[in-house]
Amino acid sequence: MQLETWLAQAGGRSDPRTGSLSTPIHQTATFSHPRLGESTGYDYSRTANPTRSTLEKALVEVGGGARACAFASGMAALDAVMRLVLESGRKRVLCTEDPYGGTIRLLERFFRPLGIVPVYVDTSDTRAVLRELDAGGAAAVVAEIPTNPLMRVADVAALADAAHASGATMVVDNTFLTPYLFRPFEHGADIAVYSATKYLCGHNDVIAGAAVCLTEEMGARLAAIQNATGGVLGPLDSWLFLRGLKTLAIRMDRQQTNALAVAEFLAGHPRVAKVHYPGLTGDPGHERLRRQARGFGGMLSFEVDDPDLVPRVLATARVFSFAESLGGVESLVTFPAVQTHADVAEAVKNRLGINNRLLRLSIGIENVADLIADLDDALR
Ligand SMILES: Cc1ncc(COP(=O)(O)O)c(C=O)c1O
């Protein structure tokens, strides 16, 4: 079966007893045992819950790998993945230098004090990553593709080869492209991690995360960490996640068609100094992403020519909501320097270009003429 079919039928036929087409929501904390020494396979919902298990199985069917764990948020997933890779005893974590700001906060505020050394590197520059790997001691390379908000594109297979040669684990945060557009395991990744809050759930109504491991051995260790630390996704949210997955393909198709049209409009606008969208043929990441992925996604960022225009755009946009998230059916505009990337050091933001003129757009499924007209009004 093709991916669209797996997605549309995600979680289907999970209850042969009743034939329920939609997965039942097992809203229970615990499970009774038939007798001493016997179990239905479920004991306590932190360890496993049938609705969550159906979702986790669907994530493997849809994106590959051996085992998935559904988490209470993308950050809970990332935290557990960090604990997993650090079980190697190695102390350095190489991370994309412009990741989601929360990833930096997690590494800096909570792992660095424990003796872990996060190293930020331009993961679109394979040689820069190789240099850091040669320095030794790296537990993992953590790459976002494309990066957030500058949309830089890594060569994931090259990074994975280099990571493996030095004994490090390759982790891909595939939140932006999802397994519909990019398949991390086909490019050498060991672990794919998601803020499912975004495209996978897709409706700006759930906070959820997921991590998928290439091997059963890693998956079992991740599940043990999740059971011990407890960041599990609840049954109702697991069901909403499954429902979101069913429409992922058509949502993403529409979102990326809209995104390209919006990027082209912005690229020709006199008040716009720069557009970052790998779907544009002139974008530095275009060719590289075209070779690796089925599409370019629905995220873009752009720089206006004057910082005073930013508050005006945020106040006057009517179709775009000024809100901090992405990947839902509704279009959002975000000001990364003060919102998503507030925890990134000023000097780093300035060096990278996450400045007071940069806005990020998450393009939804609305009529594209309305999106363009809204931006046209707001940029006056
Ligand atoms: C790329 C990326 N990874 C991880 C996260 C964290 O996910 P969550 O907000 O679901 O905890 C986000 C959130 O914006 C993100 O954009």
By most ligand atoms within 8 Å of CB, the mutation choice from 96, 97, 100, 151 for ligand 1 is 100
Going by C-alpha positions, the residue among 8, 25, 4, 10 that lies closest to residue 56 is 10
What percent of the chain is helix, strand and coil (3-state, nearest 5)? 40, 15, 45
In angstroms, the CA 81 to CA 66 distance is 15
pLDDT score recorded for residue 49: 98
Q: How many angstroms separate the most distant Cα atoms in the chain? A: 74
Sign of CA dihedral 101, 289, 329, 196: negative
Average pLDDT over residues 264-270: 98
In angstroms, the CA 153 to CA 278 distance is 8
Does the pTM of the predicted model rise above 0.95?
yes
Task: Tell me the pLDDT tens digit for each residue of 11-50.
Answer: 988 898 999 999 999 999 999 999 999 999 999 999 999 9
Task: Note if 46 is an active site residue.
Answer: yes
Average pLDDT over residues 261-274: 98
Ligand 1: which residue has its CA nearest to atom 8?
74
In one letter, which amino acid is 51? T
Q: Which CATH architecture has domain 3-246?
A: 3-Layer(aba) Sandwich (3.40)
pLDDT at position 342 over 90: no
CA 34 to ligand 1 centroid distance, Å: 41
Spans of all domains in the chain = 3-246, 248-378
Task: Tell me the pLDDT tens digit for each residue of 141-173.
Answer: 999 999 989 999 999 999 999 999 999 999 999
DSSP-derived letter for residue 133 is: H
Say if CB 283 and CB 276 are below 8 A apart.
yes
Task: Tell me the pLDDT tens digit for each residue of 60-115.
Answer: 999 999 999 999 999 999 999 999 999 999 999 999 998 998 999 999 999 999 99
Spell out the alpha helix ranges (H) of the chain.
3-8, 50-63, 74-86, 101-105, 126-134, 156-165, 178-181, 216-229, 235-246, 248-267, 286-292, 309-316, 346-352, 368-378
CA 267 to ligand 1 centroid distance, Å: 27
Average pLDDT over residues 237-261: 98
pLDDT score recorded for residue 344: 79
CA dihedral 89, 130, 99, 312 (to 10 degrees): 160
Place 348 in a pLDDT band, splitting at 50, 70 and 90: confident
Ligand 1: which residue has its CA nearest to atom 14?
325
Residues within a 6 A CB radius of ligand 1: 73-75, 100, 102, 144, 148, 173, 175, 195, 197, 207, 209
Q: Is 316 exposed, middle or buried (0-12, 13-18, 19+ CB in 10 A)?
A: middle
Average pLDDT over residues 336-344: 85
Average pLDDT over residues 342-363: 89
By most ligand atoms within 8 Å of CB, the mutation choice from 97, 103, 195 for ligand 1 is 195
User: Which listed residue (52, 92, 100, 251) is catalytic?
Assistant: 100
CA 95 to ligand 1 centroid distance, Å: 15
Say if CB 91 and CB 64 are below 8 A apart.
no
Task: Please name every residue paired with 68 in a beta bridge, in sequence order, or none if there are none.
Answer: 212
In angstroms, the CA 359 to CA 133 distance is 33
Task: Tell me the pLDDT tens digit for each residue of 292-302.
Answer: 999 999 999 99
pLDDT score recorded for residue 72: 98
Q: Which CATH architecture has domain 248-378?
A: Alpha-Beta Complex (3.90)
Ligand 1: which residue has its CA nearest to atom 9?
74
